Amino acid sequence: MSRSLPAALLVLFLGLWLAASYGVRYGLMEDGQWVGLCTAPAAYWQCEVRSLLGLGIHHQVLAWGGLGLALLAQVVAGRSGWWLAVVALVFAVPALVLYTASIAVFALVLAGLRLVRQPH
């Protein structure tokens, strides 16, 4: 297996994850049709998802989770730290798109730095 294949797969996955995050933002969170449809409690399961995601955005769960995992990835050695950085990116990318960019950008940078760090 080529050395650059895992990196290329990671970039491809993160690109698709970014596109999916924008789909959630513009298709579920900002689309005006959901405002009218979600007036009745528990009318659609999408309304419940939208409500829970709104609470998560308000409390910055994704951003703080990504930042915590990115900080943890900095101190964990080896492949475990690398995988923690990947999981931190999985949290940081949607947090960056979903209105918590101020914290998520630090998680994104820290996780990216951990991914490119050379082993000792």
What's the predicted TM-score (pTM) here?
Answer: 0.86
pLDDT bin (cut points 50, 70, 90) of residue 38 is confident
- Stretch 2-20: mean pLDDT, rounded? 87
Which residues span the domain enclosing 26?
A: 5-116
| 16: pLDDT strictly greater than 80 | yes
| 94: pLDDT strictly greater than 80 | yes
- Stretch 49-63: mean pLDDT, rounded? 91
Total structural domains in the chain? 1
Average pLDDT, the chain: 89
Which DSSP string corresponds to 19-66? HHHHHHIIIIIS-THHHHHTTSTTS-HHHHHHHHHHHHHHTTHHHHHH
